[in-house]
Amino acid sequence: MLDDAGRVPAGWEIVDDNAAVVAACAHAQAATAVLAFRSHPQLEALCAAVHALRRQCGGALKIAVVERGEVLRQQFEMLVLSVGANRVVARDLPLSRMQAAVNALHGQLYARPVAPDYRAALAAALGDSVLGYLPVGAFCLRIRAVLDRGAVLALPHTLAKIALLPGVSHVDALRHCRPRRAGDVVTADAAHLYVFLFACEPVDAEDALARIFDVPVDTLSDRVVCLGAGSIDTELDALKTENRRAPIADYSDLFATAKQPGATRVPTDHAGEGAANAEAGGVADPTIDNAPQPMRDEDPVPAAAAPAPSADIPAARARGAIRSAMPLRKPEGA
């Protein structure tokens, strides 16, 4: 964690890695442990270390996680805080400011509930491996599963309901929608696209949509409603009811299905450095932004479709106008 051993602050004990921090703090009570986060594969080991420290040492122990390689995304920062960390210290701070941030924890007591199982909390933060287009039924089922699993962390999610402009076909709008983060999925009903943004606050949804669509959103829609906690359930119920009464068109055949391998599972890697303020330390940071990969045909779960460029899906281009002119729902009584 410290690049220059000669700059070790007074009263700090330096150890080899995060596992050594846990061992050094075995009988500590009011000490301050500093753990390092460097890369995504370290996330599970980091959570295990933080959770073990908090469970064995109680609320008086101060635990700081310092970013040293990658930067923790919001859901992963919430994760390490939920399993027992007092604070995440930002990457690239000068030593003096990092030390000040750690020293500011002195006298604090950790009073938040600690997740009983760090693995369940980790699974909630990692989300789903699927991204892109899903038919309405699969879309609703998958989001419901994500919401239920994420309740342990109270993760924020956003459902963007995008009303399409007259003349904008569903196929064209879906083709312009290119989710790249694990768990971001999209579907369509008679007049809207629905984009589910995993671990995204509604206040950040506009920026997220601007990254997902390869054209300005206002060229496709003049009304975007971003729904957060509570409102998502209501919208899903309405969408399921609509689909049950008159099945909504399924565009799965027009888009290549994709999954992000390993998004719901983090390889355990106990490598990491540690230092302790009279105790120890270490660092880590995860990001999930892998390129979508095609699923095998035998995959039993409908996978999300990351719309491919027009040149890569000539069938979709040739059939787009025809599909757009078709009714999205079967006529009642048919």
Q: Which pLDDT belongs to residue 258? A: 58
Q: Which pLDDT belongs to residue 66? A: 94
Q: Which pLDDT belongs to residue 309? A: 40
Q: What is the mean pLDDT of each run of 10 residues along the chain (334 residues)?
A: 60 85 87 92 95 93 92 92 94 87 90 91 87 94 92 91 95 94 92 95 95 96 94 95 93 73 46 40 35 37 40 35 39 45
Q: Which pLDDT belongs to residue 122? A: 94
Taking the C-alpha atoms of residue 307 and residue 171, their distance in angstroms, rounded to an integer, is 10
Instruction: Please give the sequence-ordered ranges of beta strands (E in DSSP) within 172-252, or none if there are none.
Output: 185-188, 192-197, 221-227
Q: Which pLDDT belongs to residue 257? A: 54
Quote the tokens at residue 84.
């027992």
**Range list for CATH 3.30.70 in the chain:** 127-254
| Rounded to 5°, angle at Cα 289 from 285 and 293 | 140
Q: Shortest CA distance to 65 belongs to which of 284, 288, 286, 287? A: 284
3-state secondary structure of 178: coil
Query: 185-188 and 132-133: which strand pairing?
Result: parallel
What's the whole-model pTM score?
0.71
Q: Which pLDDT belongs to residue 263? A: 52
183: DSSP letter:
T
Q: Which pLDDT belongs to residue 310? A: 39
CATH of domain 18-121: 3.40.50.2300
Q: Which pLDDT belongs to residue 1? A: 55
CATH of domain 127-254: 3.30.70
Q: Which pLDDT belongs to residue 101? A: 92
Instruction: Please give the sequence-ordered ranges of beta strands (E in DSSP) within 228-321, or none if there are none.
Output: 257-259, 274-277, 293-294, 304-305
Q: Which pLDDT belongs to residue 319? A: 35
**Range list for CATH 3.40.50.2300 in the chain:** 18-121
* Neighbour-count burial of 88, counting CB atoms closer than 10 A to its CB (0-12 exposed, 13-18 middle, 19+ buried): buried
Helices 136-150 and 231-245: crossing angle in degrees, nearest 10, is 150
Taking the C-alpha atoms of residue 240 and residue 156, their distance in angstroms, rounded to an integer, is 22
Taking the C-alpha atoms of residue 27 and residue 207, their distance in angstroms, rounded to an integer, is 46
